Chain A
Amino acid sequence: MIKATSTSTTRYTTQRIGFGLLTAMTLFTVLPILAVVIYILVLGTPAINGEFISGFPREGMRAGGIWPAIVGTFYLTLGTAIFAVPLGIGAAIYLSEYAPENRWTRLIRIAIINLAGIPSVVYGLFGLGLFVLFLQFGTSILAGSLTLSIMTLPVIISTTEEALRAVPQAFRTVSISLGATKWQTIRRIVLPQALPGTLTGVILGLERAAGETAPILFTVAAFFLPRLPASPLDATMALPYHLFVISTQVPGMPVKIQYGTALVLLAFVLGMNFIATTIRSRARARRQW
């Protein structure tokens, strides 16, 4: 008979302590998130009313609404989507379906990974140099969208590529064996199956773009511009930058307006997140593999 090195009671105790510790650690990671949301809800909700959402800022932004910033962020997100989504999905399809495994494609992959690690303020500076000054788009929605697109591309490419790779190889082989071309296989089998994963990645990428301040700092954002942008070459206010401005640059700012703005931005971003999660879970339930 094997002699136990420790009694089973002590082993159970060790197990309970370990389990308790891990549970506590998990709770600690959730707490700050909950705290942030609750804090902003409590302080921001009193500011939310019809005028705050749909009105223009007055009295040096200390009163009135944030409508131009909401519209600006919406346009920026839309602009980013227009540039980044086709480009990102196209690149992902190439990398997952067509690219041979060689030094060249490995280099591209490394570049994409590193692109994701670049601090956002560096993108902002790059956008200023390339789009605003060199290409003379000026401080504009166009320049900002392009800057945000570059920042978002790595996220979109890697999540889309992952979604494409998750589609079983056997589907491709079967499709080819039934006389489909490679492109027909991608379009009819692979892409539809990868669509939910792709959409999730796209929305998560755009969500980041919508919430970023640094890249739009030099490329789009107007400190105070109480009108709606008239064209893509117009500057605009945007929620994250507006929040930065009213939190640090304007003396005597009512707290509830600061937190109201934060709440609207949070709702915008979490709303997109919710859509992404819904798409993903619905697709999982329907998935046939």
Chain B
Amino acid sequence: MNKISIENLTLHYSDGTESLRNITMGIPANQITVLFGPAGGGKSSLLRILNRLNDLADVTYLNGRVLLDEEDILSPKIDVINLRRRVGMVFARPVVLPMSIRQNLTYGLEVAGMKDRYRLDEAVERSLQQAALWNEVQDRLDDPAIALSGGQQQRLCLARVLALEPEVILLDEPTSGLDPISTGKVEESLQELKKTYTIVLVPHSVQQAARTADFAAFFLQGELIEYAANKILFTNPENQKTEDYVEGRFG
């Protein structure tokens, strides 16, 4: 079943950069859907539409529909704040907020109005467990988050999203700045997390796409070239461009 349905989505930025052309695709629940392709293909734009972070960018033209559980999230009537709680985002560069580890995790809940200490503490532990970070930080939750290593910071960013108990998690090249071991930990967490969440990932390499994807979508210059299950797309793609890219003939 599709958690998100994208229908005829077209987008232009005012400066004429990366745009999307007539994208139609469904994102299945409890699977990892990977959006990949060369830089400037529209992957990040699409990701940022899914939780309306694109509102912050200079978009001149946006048309089409994006349904999250049958509800059009591009509609002006939608509660954007609530949408962002349901659709969380992890960025390429781990940006920890300038506060303690604990405060980073409770921030989203607190701005939503939760004050109950007990429930906040519960969310902290649960989210850290899910992001495989609990063992490393449990006895220093009140230290500044910036003191963590790069890999730990990125897992904290993941945990921060998980603390909100979203339905969908978007990840924009979450491991691009991480070493192979940290990358492995994040990828492992994702396989566990998809049991509960719907995951959309922009990977930092074709290899990562092939390793993690249940479904993969290949984007080239704003167009969706091919979209299929992992096994088909990475072993027997229909489109010549997909095959060339996957086999490393251009990149």
| Interface of A toward B, CB cutoff 8 Å | 168, 170-171, 173-181, 184, 188-189, 193, 287-289
Q: Which residue of A lies closest to B147 (CB)?
A: A288
Give the distance in Å from the alpha carbon of A287 to the alpha carbon of B88 in the complex: 27
Asked if A180 and B97 make an inter-chain contact with CB atoms under 8 angstroms apart, the answer reads: no
Given A189-B97, A289-B98, answer yes or no on A175-B107 (Cβ-Cβ < 8 Å): yes
Residues of A within 8 A of B157 (CB): 174
Asked if A176 and B111 make an inter-chain contact with CB atoms under 8 angstroms apart, the answer reads: no
Asked if A171 and B111 make an inter-chain contact with CB atoms under 8 angstroms apart, the answer reads: no
Query: B53, B56, B91, B111: which has the most chain A beta carbons within 10 Å?
Result: B111
Q: Which of B126-151 contact A (CB under 8 A)?
A: 144-146
Give the distance in Å from the alpha carbon of A289 to the alpha carbon of B147 in the complex: 11
Asked if A193 and B88 make an inter-chain contact with CB atoms under 8 angstroms apart, the answer reads: no
Asked if B84 and A177 make an inter-chain contact with CB atoms under 8 angstroms apart, the answer reads: yes
Asked if B56 and A193 make an inter-chain contact with CB atoms under 8 angstroms apart, the answer reads: no
Given A188-B111, A289-B146, answer yes or no on A177-B97 (Cβ-Cβ < 8 Å): no
Please provide the 5 A-B residue pairs with the shortest distance between their CB atoms, ordered closest to farther. Answer: A178-B108, A288-B98, A180-B111, A179-B85, A170-B95
The total of interchain contacts (Cβ-Cβ below 8 angstroms) comes to 64
Total interface residues in chain B, CB < 8 Å: 26
Q: Which residue of B lies closest to A289 (CB)?
A: B98
Query: B53, B88, B91, B95: which has the most chain A beta carbons within 10 Å?
Result: B95
Residues of B within 8 A of A180 (CB): 81, 107-108, 111
Give the distance in Å from the alpha carbon of A232 to the alpha carbon of B51 in the complex: 53
Of A170, A171, A179, A289, the residue contacting B84 (CB under 8 A) is: A179
| Minimum C-beta distance from B169 to chain A (A) | 11
Asked if A181 and B111 make an inter-chain contact with CB atoms under 8 angstroms apart, the answer reads: yes
Give the distance in Å from the alpha carbon of A168 to the alpha carbon of B144 in the complex: 17
Residues of B within 8 A of A176 (CB): 53, 56, 84
| Interface of B toward A, CB cutoff 8 Å | 51, 53, 56, 81-82, 84-85, 88-89, 91, 93, 95, 97-99, 107-108, 111-112, 144-146, 157, 160-161, 164
Given contacts A178-B84, A288-B144, 16 further A-B contacts (CB under 8 A): A168-B95, A170-B91, A171-B98, A173-B53, A173-B91, A173-B95, A175-B97, A178-B85, A179-B108, A179-B112, A180-B81, A181-B111, A184-B111, A189-B97, A287-B98, A289-B146
Give the distance in Å from the alpha carbon of A106 to the alpha carbon of B138 in the complex: 49
Residues of A within 8 A of B82 (CB): 179
Give the distance in Å from the alpha carbon of A168 to the alpha carbon of B107 in the complex: 18
Given A179-B82, A179-B84, answer yes or no on A174-B146 (Cβ-Cβ < 8 Å): no
Q: Which residue of B lies closest to A168 (CB)?
A: B95
| Minimum C-beta distance from A239 to chain B (A) | 40
Residues of B within 8 A of A288 (CB): 98-99, 144-146
Q: Which residue of A lies closest to B86 (CB)?
A: A179
| Minimum C-beta distance from B144 to chain A (A) | 6
Asked if A178 and B160 make an inter-chain contact with CB atoms under 8 angstroms apart, the answer reads: yes
Main secondary structure of the interface of A (DSSP, over half): helix
Residues of A within 8 A of B56 (CB): 173, 176
Asked if B89 and A181 make an inter-chain contact with CB atoms under 8 angstroms apart, the answer reads: no
Asked if B81 and A171 make an inter-chain contact with CB atoms under 8 angstroms apart, the answer reads: no
Q: Which residue of A lies closest to B103 (CB)?
A: A188
| Minimum C-beta distance from A187 to chain B (A) | 10
Residues of B within 8 A of A184 (CB): 111
Of A170, A178, A193, A287, the residue contacting B111 (CB under 8 A) is: A178
Asked if B164 and A179 make an inter-chain contact with CB atoms under 8 angstroms apart, the answer reads: yes
Asked if A177 and B144 make an inter-chain contact with CB atoms under 8 angstroms apart, the answer reads: no
Query: A168, A179, A180, A289: which has the most chain B beta carbons within 10 Å?
Result: A179
| Minimum C-beta distance from A262 to chain B (A) | 43
| Minimum C-beta distance from B140 to chain A (A) | 15
Residues of B within 8 A of A193 (CB): 98
Asked if A179 and B146 make an inter-chain contact with CB atoms under 8 angstroms apart, the answer reads: no
Asked if B91 and A174 make an inter-chain contact with CB atoms under 8 angstroms apart, the answer reads: yes
Query: A176, A178, A184: which has the most chain B beta carbons within 10 Å?
Result: A178
Give the distance in Å from the alpha carbon of A168 to the alpha carbon of B95 in the complex: 10
A-B contact pairs, 24 of them (CB 8 A): A168-B95, A171-B97, A173-B56, A174-B91, A174-B95, A174-B157, A175-B97, A175-B107, A175-B111, A176-B84, A177-B88, A177-B89, A178-B108, A179-B81, A179-B111, A180-B107, A181-B111, A188-B111, A193-B98, A287-B98, A288-B98, A288-B99, A288-B145, A289-B98
| Minimum C-beta distance from B101 to chain A (A) | 12
Residues of B within 8 A of A189 (CB): 97-98
Residues of B within 8 A of A173 (CB): 53, 56, 91, 95
| Minimum C-beta distance from B113 to chain A (A) | 10
Q: Which residue of A lies closest to B157 (CB)?
A: A174
Residues of B within 8 A of A181 (CB): 81, 111
Give the distance in Å from the alpha carbon of A168 to the alpha carbon of B96 in the complex: 11
